[in-house]
Every structure is written in C-alpha cells, then in structure tokens.
Amino acid sequence: MDTHDWLLFLHMLSAFALVGAEVLFTFLIFWLWRTDVPGEIARVSDISKLGSALGGIGAGGVLVFGVILAFEADSYAIWDAWIVFALILWFLFAEVGRRSGKAYDAAGARARALVAEGRSEPSAELGAMFRSSTALQLHLASLVIIVLFLLDMTFKPWA
C-alpha cells in the first residue's frame, strides 16, 4: 500500500466513525424519546460521551485526511466543485451538530442534577428539554447532511 491508499483508508475509517456516532445519537434520542425519568436519561447521556468522542475523531479525521488527499492526488484538486461542496457540508455539519449536542447535553446535565438531588420521579421539565423540537430538527438536519456527504463522496458530482 502506498501513501494514497493509507490516506484513503484513514479518511474512510474516519467517515465510519462519524456515521457510527450519528447512528448512536439517533438510537439514544429515539430510545429516550418517551421518558422523562432522570435516572434513565442521566445513564444514557453518559453513553453519548462515546458518540461525542467518535464524532469528534471522525469529523476531524474526515477533514484532515480529505484535505491531504485533495492535495496528494493528481486526479483532483482542492478547488474541484465536489470537494468545495464537501467542505461546505463539513462546516455546516459541525455547526448543526454543535447546536444539537448543546441541547441534548443540557437535558443530560439537568437529569444528572436531578439524580444528584435524589429526585427520581418523572420530570415534565426534563421531558420537555429532551423532546425539544429544535434539538430534534437539528439532529435530523445532521443526518441529512451526512447523507449528502456520502452521496458527494460516492458519486463526485461536478468532477
């Protein structure tokens, strides 16, 4: 394997980590959608730390290895339209993911605070925080961006 093959492998591995994080977050959101019990939300929000790590490593790797690939490969350049589109999607995904994560992290922090206070009864406030339509819309937007990423990387439109 040459340098290009290794860069492509690491770029793809990063993409798998990023998609894996999105799948994990989606399962966690739908798993907790109907609960407002602080203990359950606090326990599962701890699992989301794995998703945050995977997402951060994946997003960083996709960007870094993708840019290096764009400069390293003779067959395409960083200013090719499909690469510029991917970079725009990456920055859009980063911001949408940050906002979505902030909303769900706030619900997890509130759940942990309620557990620390010894309150285990269902909390309407916590349920409302977790089922925020804005947070869900942001998460769904991040899923759409991921699909657009995959389509862009697979079919390379405008190449």
Q: Please write the tens of the pLDDT for every residue from 27-48.
A: 999 999 989 999 999 998 889 9
Residue 132: strand, helix, or coil: coil
Measured over the CA atoms of residue 14, residue 154, residue 93 and residue 43, the dihedral's sign is: negative
Q: Does residue 130 register a pLDDT over 90?
A: no
- Per-residue pLDDT at 46: 84
| Region 124-146 average pLDDT | 94
- Distance, CA of 63 to CA of 32 (rounded, Å): 31
Q: Give how far the C-alpha of residue 52 lies from the chain's centroid of Cα atoms, to the nearest Å.
A: 7
Taking the model in full, what pTM does it have?
Answer: 0.92
Contact 126, 38 (CB under 8 A): yes
CB 36 within 8 A of CB 123: yes
Nearest to 141 by CA among 32, 25, 44, 49: 25
For residue 130, give the amino acid letter: F
The mean per-residue pLDDT over the stretch 122-128 comes to: 92
Tell me the pLDDT band of 109, cut-offs 50, 70 and 90: very high
| pLDDT single digits (tens) 73-100 | 888 899 999 999 999 999 999 999 999 9
- pLDDT bin (cut points 50, 70, 90) of residue 154 is very high
